[in-house]
Amino acid sequence: MLTIYQKLLLRKSAPLLNYQTPFSRLFIDSKPRYFFFKRVFDLVFSVFVMVFILSWFVPLLGIIIKMDSRGTVFFLQRRIGKGGRIFLCIKFRTMTQNMEADTKQAVENDYRITRVGKLLRMCSIDELPQFINVFLGQMSVIGPRPHMLSDCRKFSELVPGYKFRNFVRPGITGLAQIKGYRGPSKDHRNILRRFQYDAFYIRNTNFGLDLRIIRVTVAQVTIALFKNKKKRRSLEPKKSEKYGKIAA
């Protein structure tokens, strides 16, 4: 049952949520050329990343992950793809092995997240193996983020027409992500806003919007890497402090 707050929120956003009509697919079917070249771009871009980045980065990071905690290098999770089809989404493992991995979203200060995993999540590096999913045609570089099965069912009950976002391939990054909606969905308003951005992207998808999302994503990841590096340095004791402790 929806609360009064949820009903008011959905009523206010009704024009954005009316996707359960025969005309819903017109947003997709009217752009066959765009989606053809989008797929070509996905193939070229994913091959480039796999050859020039993943080929050396996976063995290097794999050793670090294995040294940090027990378990596999990759984490495979069943997620919802285009047309509601289920696929195995590939990520670098960022958690200790646990029974809730496929049902419970990660939260802030989650006890399951490893030390290396915290860094990977902060910089979104754990998503890099998903370029393999892009190459296989299960995902796209740009699109709505794929959900776990349990989340997809739950969100579909809360937001009418939520499965409209499944008309396109899910993406490694998307409009909702560059607008700040990353990580776990904290509340119903958060879920609704994410869907609104995803729906806006599907209705207005074009190469100009895709390039903008890529550009902003790269900038955000770069800033996150810089901030994380700066934060680590600030936590390290200064030389004078080290010598002071030794002298004491």
Domain limits for position 128: 4-232
Residue 245 lies in a domain: no
How does residue 230 score in pLDDT terms, banded at 50, 70 and 90? low
Residue 239 lies in a domain: no
Q: What is residue 128's predicted lDDT score, i.e. its pLDDT?
A: 95
How many other C-beta atoms can be found within 10 angstroms of the C-beta atom of residue 85? 10
Residue 26 lies in a domain: yes
Residue 103 lies in a domain: yes
Cα–Cα distance between 246 and 248 in angstroms, integer?
Answer: 5
Among 8-22, 41-55, 211-225, the range with the most confident prediction by mean pLDDT is 41-55
Strand ranges, E, within 81-207: 86-92, 140-142, 171-173
The two beta strands, 140-142 and 171-173, are parallel
What is the number of structural domains in the chain? 1
Residue 237 lies in a domain: no
What is the pLDDT averaged over residues 32-40? Answer: 94
State both tokens at 222.
Answer: 């770069």
Residue 152 lies in a domain: yes
Q: What is residue 221's predicted lDDT score, i.e. its pLDDT?
A: 87
Residue 19 confidence (pLDDT) above 70: no
Residue 240 lies in a domain: no
Name the β-bridge partners of 21: none
CA angle 178/182/183 to nearest 5° reads 165
